[in-house]
């Protein structure tokens, strides 16, 4: 069945796959669990949500899926193109999902990243949509097969009845945990584990040595790119925090100056001046910074007018 579907995709004219609100529930149910086929065109990873009027699709990422790379050289070429690009972290994770699907022909793929602050492994990307769980579903180092792989930097391949493995941890939110076969490999950067790639097959699946080695190769090569994206994301967050601190400091300076002017002009205490400024801000539904700037401007104009009149 997979080969027939793939052949139809290959023969179809190049255009992205999307769904709109006219798609019926049965089509949604079928496509929700459909494996991305090999194609020479972009295929969009779709996130599904419910509406009272029906269903609709939200495009999460577009993965350019090419003919499946069967050698490490072909994989390295694909990975080098990804690494040299300026993709955001979520887009990079989408590329990992696409590569993994090609290498393993799996029915589901999950990517977890290690959160340094908490030391937990967090779900960040998936083939089967899990919008509510991305960033929220997490486990401790050593917990479940995923945590074991991260802790030991080792591959785990379970060809059938994966949930019976003593390390397995079942998550009700993950339909993938009901699948038969399970392959898990670490994402590595500079010798350190930064995440885990999990591959699921609905039916029993014997993971070949080539399949395991290729997926491990993806984990090793893409680890550096992910680490780079994580660093860029962290730098952007720190930059935003720095800018926010500067904005708060600027606002505080303006408010303090405005308070001083109000104290002098209306013979108010510092607390009374602050309360009047705050209450006016709430009444006018304007930020205190804007009111403070208006008070300072009015005072400057008043002094300038008085100085001109005195002359």
Q: Evaluate whether 77 touches 203 at the Cβ level (below 8 Å).
A: no
Strand, helix or coil for residue 105 = coil
Torsion angle, alpha carbons of 262, 266, 270, 276, to 10: -70
The 10s digit of each residue's pLDDT in 113-166 is 988 888 899 998 888 888 888 888 989 999 999 999 999 999 999 999 999 999
If one compares 62 and 175, the residue with the highest pLDDT of the two is: 175
Q: At 186, which helix (H) or strand (E)?
A: strand 181-189
Helices (H), 126-208: 144-152
What secondary structure does DSSP assign to 23-61, as a single string? S-HHHHHHHHTPPPPP-SSEEEEEEEEEETTEEEEEEEE
The 10s digit of each residue's pLDDT in 35-72 is 333 332 333 333 333 434 333 333 344 344 444 455 66
């Amino acid at each position: 069945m997979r080969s027939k579907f793939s052949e139809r995709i290959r023969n179809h004219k190049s255009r992205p796959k999307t769904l709109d609100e006219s798609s019926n529930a049965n089509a949604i149910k079928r496509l929700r669990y459909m494996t991305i086929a090999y194609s020479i065109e972009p295929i969009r990873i779709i996130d599904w949500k419910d509406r009272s009027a029906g269903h609709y699709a939200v495009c999460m990422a577009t993965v350019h899926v090419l003919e499946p790379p069967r050698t490490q050289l072909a994989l390295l070429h694909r990975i080098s193109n990804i690494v040299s690009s300026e993709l955001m972290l979520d887009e990079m994770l989408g590329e990992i999902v696409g590569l993994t699907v090609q290498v393993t022909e799996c029915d589901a793929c999950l990517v977890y990243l290690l959160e340094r602050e908490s030391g937990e492994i967090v779900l960040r990307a998936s083939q089967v949509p899990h919008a509510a769980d991305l960033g929220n579903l997490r486990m401790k180092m050593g917990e479940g097969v995923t945590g074991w792989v991260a802790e030991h930097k080792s591959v785990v391949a379970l060809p059938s009845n994966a949930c019976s493995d003593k390390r397995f941890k079942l998550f009700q939110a993950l339909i993938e945990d009901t699948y038969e076969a399970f392959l898990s490999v670490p994402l590595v950067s500079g010798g350190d584990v930064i995440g885990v790639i999990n591959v699921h097959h609905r039916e029993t699946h014997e993971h070949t040595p080539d399949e395991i080695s290729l997926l491990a190769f993806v984990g090793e090569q893409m680890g550096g790119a992910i680490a780079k994206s994580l660093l860029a994301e962290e730098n952007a967050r720190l930059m935003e925090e720095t800018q926010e601190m500067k904005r708060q400091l600027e606002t505080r300076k303006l408010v303090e100056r405005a308070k001083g002017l109000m104290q002098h002009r209306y013979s108010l205490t510092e607390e009374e001046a602050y309360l009047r400024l705050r209450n006016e801000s709430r009444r006018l539904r304007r930020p205190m910074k804007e009111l403070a700037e208006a008070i300072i401007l009015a005072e400057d104009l008043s002094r300038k007018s008085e100085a001109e009149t005195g002359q």
